[in-house]
Structure 1
Amino acid sequence: MSHQSGISVSDELAKTFAEAVSGDQVRFIRVSIVNEVLEADGVENVKGNWEEDFDRVQAFLPDKTPTYIFYRLDPGAEVQASAPLPGESPSETSSAASWILLCYVPDGAKIRDKMIYASTRATLKREWGESGLREVVYGTTKEEFSLEGYRLHLKHQKAEAPLTQRERDLAEVKAAETQSASYTPQGTQAKKTYAAGVAFPLSDDAKSALEGLSKTESSGRNNYVSLAIDVKKEEIYLDKATNVSPSDLSKSVPADSPRFTFYTSGAHQDSTERPAVLFIYTCPLGSKIKERMVYSSAKAVVCSVAADEIGLRIVRKLETSDPHDLTADHISNEMGPTEPAQPLLGSKPGFKRPAAPGRRARTPNS
């Protein structure tokens, strides 16, 4: 919290402010503390445009004494040094605030003067009316208040603030989810553009393993296919393809990192139709933050490609944070007789979580 110095604005300065704001002749006003009062000790009129006049400011800056400069920008000047207020566009901000406050405090100034000018700034802004100031610019050298110095200040203001790794991850996933939501399968031969962390292409091994699940004959067919994402290679690769019994499924799914698992038990199945496939998305609570976000944003695309491009008959889609939820009884219930499922994108009710131990497993129709 800042402390105010108790120094007030003189009547003459208040009058100068009012005349400058209501007219269009004044380019800038120098304000200094004189005998414990804020006074206007220099007024310069407009000669050229705001850029041409800016370098005149340096001549009004003392070598070792702080001072304030109220500088007028031309109406409609295309200067955007700070973000607009909520609900305002840059053009609205520009027309509503045509003045900036330059606060000059040289390094060689006395400590007492530095403290007094710093604590008086709030009083000065309040007297002027903060809504009438586009921004406040601080500097310790005369060069910072040249036109070149001010442009450098504007460049820094516009520069994107550095992001933390977590913020970069969130931004990446947000863009990924947007791409995922608008993804439309185009056939295995169609050319696609993939966003990092979302619609990564499936490796040839992953596609072959999924195609194997769609065989109507059970001989030589695996019933368990696990896929994982290699973010660095920008690819969804085959983690494992094997045969797993319902009782061993919970032990086969990794418990330390996310996976996309496609599983068919062979039970309750008509041998003349494609196998009924269960799509399981597991994301353990101990997974890395970026892993959890990337897998979450990619699951819809992975399931859609498997159903619409590979041709799997996905009848259920499950999601869990604990592979131990995938009990034999629960899998048996999920793989029971059901209507053929629609692709994940646009389907209802979509993903559902396995029932907690001891509770009856729910189906979309229960």
Structure 2
Amino acid sequence: MSHQTGILATDELRDFFAASKEGGANEGRYRAIKVSIENETLVLSDSGLADGTFEEDWDTIVLPMLEEKQPCYIFYRLDSRESHGGFEWLFLAYSPDLAHVREKMTYAATRATLKKEFGQGQIKEEVFGTTPEDISLAGYHKHLQAQNAPAPLTEAEEELRYIKQQEGVSTHIHVETRQQTVQGVAFPIAQAAVAKLQQLKEGQISYVRLELDMDRETIELSGAEDTTVQSLPQRVPEDHPRYHFFVFKHTHEGDYQESVVFIYSMPGYKCSIKERMLYSSCKAPLLDQTEHNIGITVSKKVEIDDGAELTEEFLMDELHPKKNAYREKFARPQGPAGKRGPRRMIRGTNTPSS
């Protein structure tokens, strides 16, 4: 709730308002009306006559009215009319940073009273500024752009918006294709990457790293070589997401195994929202393509944010989770000695007492 100061307009100001906007000889003549507070009263401080369009007149009339350390109000007439036929006006509230705090508070608390004195029905918009640039024609255009722009989004809302945009990409899919049931964005895999994945399948190499080319919308080869578990963390970038296919050679319960592990590395918020969302959206279609088109069977899929997580113990736990230790069933406490406990003597109601 705004606090009112009790400051009212002078009769002269009220008469000027009426003459400048109520269908008389002066209607349309005045382009700007400057109002100030003097001796705790709203007074007519200055005025400007229309010469061209409201945009042509703006800076030549409004800017000379502004003082470096003095707040003021300016009613500025547009060329458009409201539904009842009168011209539409802008209410410009100017409160420079260099003004005294008490004056700024007084002007802020009196704004509602002044708009009521002028007639709120003809005020199309209100513009507030602390510098002449805010009150200039360029400042007004920025004000309009800010009003028409969508509200700023939180990071979660920005990610959701990006997901919705990607849902509209490549939605026309033939009914016989397998990708109809795969959610995400299916970027094509570059031929060099396909060749290295084929070598990994055939046991010629043990590691392939893939990256997204977001401009060309393809999945490109980022690296391919024989890699041990000890050197695997060094293959994970610290500032960009990547896809990794690694053949983990190990022994479990006496059996030698070679398991293909798919590793999705995502270094948190070090990368852009677009990058995070694209990598997340392309992951499922990539795995679908490598399984059905190349023939790689992935034994385990893991997601990490730091390459240091990729230890032999970590991969063993992911591939072969430790079973819960045998827990003995709850032992029911023993009852009293004998099957039914000691026999109780129950005296009948008709048994005479001895």
Length-normalised TM-score, structure 2 = 0.52
Give the aligned residue type for 1:327: L
Shift of residue 40, structure 1, vs aligned partner: 2.4
Partner in structure 2 of residue 69 of structure 1: 74
For residues 1-366 of structure 1, the aligned pairs below 5 Å read: 8-10=7-9, 12=11, 15=14, 19=18, 23=22, 25=27, 27-42=31-46, 49-54=53-58, 57=61, 61=65, 66=70, 67-75=72-80, 98-101=89-92, 103=94, 117-127=103-113, 128=115, 132=123, 134-138=125-129, 150-154=136-140, 156-157=142-143, 177=163, 181-184=167-170, 204-214=191-201, 218=202, 220-228=203-211, 236-242=220-226, 248=229, 252-253=232-233, 254=235, 257=238, 258-263=241-246, 278-283=261-266, 289-290=270-271, 294-295=275-276, 297-305=278-286, 307-308=288-289, 310-313=293-296, 318-321=301-304, 322-324=309-311, 326-328=314-316, 330-331=318-319
* Cα pair distance change 1:252/1:140, threshold 3 Å: closer
The CA distance in 1 between the partners of 2:276 and 2:131, in whole Å, is 50
Shift of residue 20, structure 1, vs aligned partner: 7.6
* Cα pair distance change 1:174/1:317, threshold 3 Å: farther
* Cα pair distance change 1:55/1:283, threshold 3 Å: closer
Residues 32, 62 of structure 2: 8 Å contact kept: no
* Cα pair distance change 1:121/1:212, threshold 3 Å: same
* Cα pair distance change 1:102/1:311, threshold 3 Å: same
The CA distance in 1 between the partners of 2:249 and 2:168, in whole Å, is 34
Residues 206, 236 of structure 1: 8 Å contact kept: yes
Shift of residue 96, structure 1, vs aligned partner: 12
The CA distance in 2 between the partners of 1:280 and 1:134, in whole Å, is 56
CA RMSD of aligned residues (A): 5.6
Shift of residue 240, structure 1, vs aligned partner: 3.2
* Cα pair distance change 1:237/1:313, threshold 3 Å: closer
C-alpha deviations, 1:246-280, integer Å up to 9, x for none?
xx4x873556745422246799xxxxxxx996533
More strand by share: 2
The CA distance in 1 between the partners of 2:95 and 2:272, in whole Å, is 49
Residues 37, 43 of structure 2: 8 Å contact kept: yes
Shift of residue 101, structure 1, vs aligned partner: 1.1
Shift of residue 151, structure 1, vs aligned partner: 2.9
C-alpha deviations, 1:59-82, integer Å up to 9, x for none?
9738788443211223379xxxxx
The CA distance in 2 between the partners of 1:15 and 1:280, in whole Å, is 75
* Cα pair distance change 1:33/1:293, threshold 3 Å: closer
Shift of residue 318, structure 1, vs aligned partner: 2.4
Residues 31, 40 of structure 1: 8 Å contact kept: yes
The CA distance in 2 between the partners of 1:261 and 1:204, in whole Å, is 17
Give the aligned residue type for 1:330: E
The CA distance in 2 between the partners of 1:289 and 1:56, in whole Å, is 49
Aligned length: 273
C-alpha deviations, 1:13-52, integer Å up to 9, x for none?
7845974897463643221233332212455676764235
C-alpha deviations, 1:173-214, integer Å up to 9, x for none?
78875665455599xxxxxxxxxxx98875554221113345
Residues 32, 77 of structure 2: 8 Å contact kept: yes
* Cα pair distance change 1:288/1:11, threshold 3 Å: closer
Partner in structure 1 of residue 351 of structure 2: none
Task: Give me the identity figure in percent.
Answer: 21
The CA distance in 2 between the partners of 1:172 and 1:211, in whole Å, is 37
Shift of residue 290, structure 1, vs aligned partner: 0.8
* Cα pair distance change 1:139/1:243, threshold 3 Å: closer
The CA distance in 2 between the partners of 1:277 and 1:182, in whole Å, is 33
Structure 2 residues without counterparts, runs of 5 or longer: 147-152, 173-184, 251-257, 326-354
The CA distance in 1 between the partners of 2:87 and 2:189, in whole Å, is 54
Structure 1 residues without counterparts, runs of 5 or longer: 78-94, 161-166, 187-197, 268-274, 333-354, 361-366
> Looking at CA atoms only, which structure, 1 or 2, has the larger radius of gyration?
2
Residues 30, 68 of structure 1: 8 Å contact kept: yes
The CA distance in 1 between the partners of 2:90 and 2:208, in whole Å, is 66
Give the aligned residue type for 1:8: I
